Amino acid sequence: MDSLADDLLVEIFCRLPCAEAVITCKCVCKQWLSLISKPQLVARFIAHNLNNGHINSNNKKKHRNEELSSFTYIDQGENEDGNIFFFPTSPVFTSLDTTLDFIPSYENTAKSPVKIRSKCSDLILCSRLPPEEFSSRVLPEEPDLYICNPRSKQWIQLPTPSHKEHHCLTCFTCDPYYETGSSISLSTCRYSVCYGFVVSRSSSRVNQLEMKILSSETGVWKKAVLLSPKFVNFWSAKFRDCFTYNGMVHFCTDDGIIGFDTYNVSADGFIHGRVIQLPLHDGSNQCGGEYVGVSGGKIVLLVYCRCLMSQQQQQQQQQPQPDNTDVYSLRVWELKGYETGEWLMTRIVHLNDLVVEDSEIFESLVRRYRWNLLMIHPNDADVLLLILGERMVECNLREKTWKSICSIPSSRKRLGLVFPWWPTPLKQLPW
């Protein structure tokens, strides 16, 4: 192998099945370490997969953010680091056999739990909590903050923010590492972290949110004020529904989707946000849950509703019915106009029409109503990943099918991640 030219080695590396296999080869020798560390190899690896149809490019009528090889979930216990599982686009479920234990421990003591604050793409914003023996000590207002990539196990520590108020919102965004087109373009992948604080307690809805923002460009926390065009209940912001779209942070509240640009702060410290109203539901339906995310380069809303079945619907059902006439449905909405806030319902599927593997899943849906949407597939809004009791299930709304992926403990916390074809590198802060 020592006699192989670098160009030939690059071609061999680019034909390995995944980025993890290429990165592992860094340990072989200094020559391979140097070669794999070069951005030219990363661009060549992505281009090879693109040319062989493994990545969808803009020329193939796909959005650049669709170029994703998988999506995952993190299984995090109360007193242990999260286990990371890998669910590729090709339906094979396997474990990456890794945890977040590479995050440094608190003051070099025994390992203590990692708390996940937010996520974007394959990066995680987290903090290492103090161990129990430090509970009686006076601790800092905020524990140590880190950004890490669980695939490459790269991490950086952030300066600790100082604030006494309880923040209602934590957001994290990062730029895509690469873009495709006529050629592969790599970026420095800037990122930003922001905390939001509701100062006024006199009303649940306000039109301003005080913020502290840290970006990779400055490396320090700066104060800002988010201005909303309407009054919003920021305390209703949902952690799982925080996402990045067109380089802007978005999060879902009871009053709609709030979007703002953490890099566009005026000289007087203001950020002008926008509010996107959610589509109105039929008054005859009861909304049982919502999920907002990005799929195929578009903002997608999934609504879980219950409504009354007609007699004709009952006669047409493929599955045995429960002892009531309620029908549950999943409705997929797509934001057609970002500026106009226009939504289009792209699919509605009654759960009783789905073809399931066994009756237990059906019982969980229709009778027990134990379901939790983990995430929408980043490439296909018709494919969902759900948690039903102690099962992870893939639902295909287009084909009206359900498929059990694996069993998982019901007491664990889950977080959906998206894996690009090459792990996002972390830029060190200028501090």
pLDDT in tens, 23-53: 889 988 988 999 998 888 988 888 887 777 5
Predicted local confidence at residue 109, as pLDDT: 60
pLDDT band at residue 236 using 50, 70 and 90 as cut-offs:
confident
Section 145-160 average pLDDT: 88
* Rounded Cα–Cα distance for residues 391 and 369 (Å): 13
% of the chain with per-residue pLDDT over 70? 68
Q: Tell which phi-psi region holds residue 153, choosing left (phi > 0), alpha (psi between -120 and 50) or beta.
A: left
Token pair belonging to 380 = 């296909």
DSSP states along 285-353:
-EEEEEEEEEETTEEEEEEEEEEEPPHHHHHH-SS---SS-EEEEEEEEEEEETTTTEEEEEEEEEGGG
pLDDT digits (tens, 9 = 90+) for 205-215: 888 888 999 99
Give the global pTM: 0.81
Average pLDDT, the chain: 75
Q: If pLDDT is split at 50, 70 and 90, which confidence band does 364 have?
A: low
pLDDT in tens, 292-333: 888 888 999 988 777 655 555 455 554 444 444 466 788 899
CATH class for domain 65-420?
Answer: mainly beta
Sign of CA dihedral 349, 352, 354, 358: positive
In the chain, domain spans: 6-59, 65-420
